């Protein structure tokens, strides 16, 4: 009898919260997909401003008392796996890189870019410590790991091209980050193009950095954003707004230099050494990489990604990036949080936007 009472009570509570959500014009659940695996059980994800927002409960706080619950889904298969879930209508809002999102858009998946999440993310080329590979030009004929279809794919093609190489000049192997780290450790590959998450191999003395995009043209860096399905954004704009506002709160907190050590410590909960972030953000304010602005730099990067994806035959069709972007959610969040003007917009070259550069 007690068990039955508990079941009936739980069912009644669920029905009540669902009614509250409907009364507020909100859905009973918001399904958020992340193009990255989590760690631990229960799942832990603390990377970037969206990871901080989840870790600090800022998105849940936006929905407190509404009857709407947040469900998170993490994908080891990164962007391509997220696209499959979107195609099957299993997600409402997703965090993924520029290439997989534009590939899905070009294929007919109707989404909206609603919030920049991580811009100018570096790419690293790791090799064994005693390797004869000193730079990208030495990769010809070598076994090199590349996670195809992710937001690193296009910048890596550009990096190869800048050194006189094409994909066919290198023995590329499609590994995710975990597989690449394992293969590099066992020397089953000669080199791996990776992100900050793999710098722990450098910290352990298993690998060294043969090339990185730090201090180089932003054309070689990776960009990521939060997207909402067009259907979900039309039916539940307030839900999208609340998610965006929660992530912008996290980005603002992380952008303050007095929180730098705490930010790195929180990101390191994913199993990365703090030294990896100290290397990745060396001499660079977090504020630059956590900007939520759809400024000329980010718009230009997505436009260039569209052109590059076509040139490298990674996607077909064209995309009007300006129409793809829905700025109202960011603009409203900045206004609500009194953060208008807090972040410095960048021009197409990644330099601070001034009146003079805007007029050029």
pLDDT, tens digit (0-9, with 9 covering 90-100), for 261-310: 999 999 999 999 999 999 999 988 999 999 999 999 999 999 989 998 88
Look up the pTM and report it: 0.88
**What pLDDT, in 10s, does the model give residues 24-82?**
789 999 999 999 999 999 999 999 999 999 999 999 999 999 999 999 999 998 889 99
Domains, in order of start, for the chain: 2-119+223-359 (3.40.190.10), 124-212 (3.40.190.10)
Reported as a single tens digit per residue, the pLDDT across 152-175 is 898 999 999 999 999 999 999 999
Tell me what pLDDT residue 308 has: 86
What does residue 194 show for φ and ψ, rounded to 5 degrees?
A: -140, 180
pLDDT at position 7 over 70: no
Confidence of residue 3 (pLDDT cuts 50, 70, 90): very low
In the block, tokens 């998946």 appear at 109
CA distances from 245 to 3, 169, 238, 290, 305 (A): 40, 45, 10, 14, 27
Helices 296-311 and 98-106 cross at an angle (nearest 10°) of 60
Q: What share of the chain is helix, strand, coil (3-state, %, to 5)?
A: 50, 15, 35
Model confidence band, residue 351 (pLDDT cutoffs 50, 70, 90): confident
Strand partners, 113: 227, 325
Q: 302-324 pLDDT, tens per residue?
A: 998 999 888 888 887 789 999 99
CA 146, 46, 220, 273 torsion: positive or negative? Answer: negative
Mean pLDDT over the full length of the chain: 90
């Amino acid at each position: 009898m007690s068990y039955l009472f508990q079941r009936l009570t739980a069912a009644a509570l669920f029905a009540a919260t669902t009614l509250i959500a409907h009364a507020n014009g909100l859905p009973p659940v918001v399904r958020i997909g992340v193009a990255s695996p989590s760690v631990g059980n229960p799942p832990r994800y603390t990377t970037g401003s969206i990871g901080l927002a989840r870790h600090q409960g800022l998105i849940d706080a936006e929905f407190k008392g509404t009857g709407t619950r947040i469900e998170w889904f993490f994908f080891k298969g990164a962007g391509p796996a997220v696209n499959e879930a979107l195609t099957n209508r299993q997600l409402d809002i997703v965090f993924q890189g520029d290439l997989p999102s534009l590939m899905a858009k070009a294929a007919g998946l109707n989404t909206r870019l609603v919030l920049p999440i991580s811009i100018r993310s570096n790419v690293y080329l790791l090799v064994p410590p005693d390797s004869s590979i000193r730079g990208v030009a030495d990769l010809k004929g070598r076994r090199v790991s590349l996670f195809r279809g992710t937001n690193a794919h296009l910048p890596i093609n550009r990096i190869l091209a800048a050194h006189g190489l094409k994909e066919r000049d290198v023995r590329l192997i499609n590994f995710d980050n975990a597989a690449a780290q394992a293969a590099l450790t066992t020397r089953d590959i000669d080199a791996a193009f990776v992100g900050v998450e793999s710098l722990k191999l450098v910290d352990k003395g298993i690998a060294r950095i043969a090339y990185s995009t730090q201090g180089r043209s932003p054309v070689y860096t990776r960009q990521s954003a939060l997207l909402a399905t067009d259907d979900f954004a039309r039916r539940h704009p307030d839900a999208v707004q609340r998610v965006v506002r929660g992530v912008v709160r996290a980005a603002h907190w992380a952008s303050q230099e007095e929180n730098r050590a705490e930010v790195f410590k929180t990101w390191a909960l994913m199993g990365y050494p703090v030294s990896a972030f100290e290397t990745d953000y060396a001499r660079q304010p977090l504020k630059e990489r956590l900007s939520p602005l759809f400024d000329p730099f980010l718009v230009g990067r997505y436009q260039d990604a569209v052109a590059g994806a076509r040139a490298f035959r990674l996607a077909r069709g064209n995309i009007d990036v300006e129409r793809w972007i829905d700025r109202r959610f960011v603009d409203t969040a900045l206004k609500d949080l009194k953060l208008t003007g807090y972040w410095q917009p960048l021009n197409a070259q990644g330099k601070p936007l001034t009146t003079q550069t805007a007029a050029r």
